[in-house]
A and B are shown apart, each in its own frame.
Chain A
Amino acid sequence: MSHPSASSPVDVPPAGTSAPADRSAPWWAWAGATLVALTVAASVGVLAGLVRRDDFWLVAVVLAVCVLPPAALLGWFLVVRPRTGAPEPHAGDNVEHRWTQRAASGAFWDVLAVAGLALAASSVTGLELGGAFALVAVLLLALTDFFVRHAVVARRES
Chain B
Amino acid sequence: MDNDLAARRAALGWSQAELAARLGVSRQTVISIERGRYDPSLPLAFRIAEVFGCRIEDVFRP
Which residues in A have their C-beta under 8 angstroms from that of B25?
90, 93-94
State whether A88 touches B24 (Cβ < 8 A). yes
State whether B51 touches A157 (Cβ < 8 A). no
State whether B37 touches A4 (Cβ < 8 A). no
In the complex, the number of residue pairs spanning A and B with C-beta atoms less than 8 Å apart equals: 70
State whether A90 touches B21 (Cβ < 8 A). no
Bound CA span A136–B23, Å: 42
- Known contacts being A13-B21, A19-B21, is A7 close to B26, with CB within 8 Å? no
State whether B24 touches A93 (Cβ < 8 A). yes
State whether B28 touches A158 (Cβ < 8 A). yes
State whether A95 touches B50 (Cβ < 8 A). no
Residue of chain B at shortest CB distance from A89: B24
State whether A4 touches B8 (Cβ < 8 A). yes
CB interface residues, A 77-135, toward B, < 8 Å: 88-90, 92-96, 98
Which residues in B have their C-beta under 8 angstroms from that of A93?
23-25, 29, 40-41, 43-44
Interface of A is mostly: loop
Interface size on A, residues (CB 8 A): 24
B11 to nearest A CB, angstroms? 6
Bound CA span A12–B23, Å: 10
State whether A94 touches B40 (Cβ < 8 A). no
Residue of chain A at shortest CB distance from B8: A4
Which residues in A have their C-beta under 8 angstroms from that of B17?
15
Which residues in B have their C-beta under 8 angstroms from that of A3?
11
Q: Quick one: which of B4, B40, B44, B53 contacts A5, CB cutoff 8 A? A: B53
Residue of chain B at shortest CB distance from A9: B22
- Known contacts being A158-B31, A158-B32, is A4 close to B38, with CB within 8 Å? no
Bound CA span A157–B11, Å: 25
Q: Is B7 at the interface (CB under 8 A from chain A)?
A: yes
State whether A96 touches B28 (Cβ < 8 A). yes
Residue of chain A at shortest CB distance from B19: A12
11 chain-A/chain-B pairs, Cβ below 8 angstroms: A4-B11, A6-B52, A7-B50, A15-B18, A88-B24, A93-B24, A93-B25, A93-B41, A95-B33, A95-B38, A158-B31
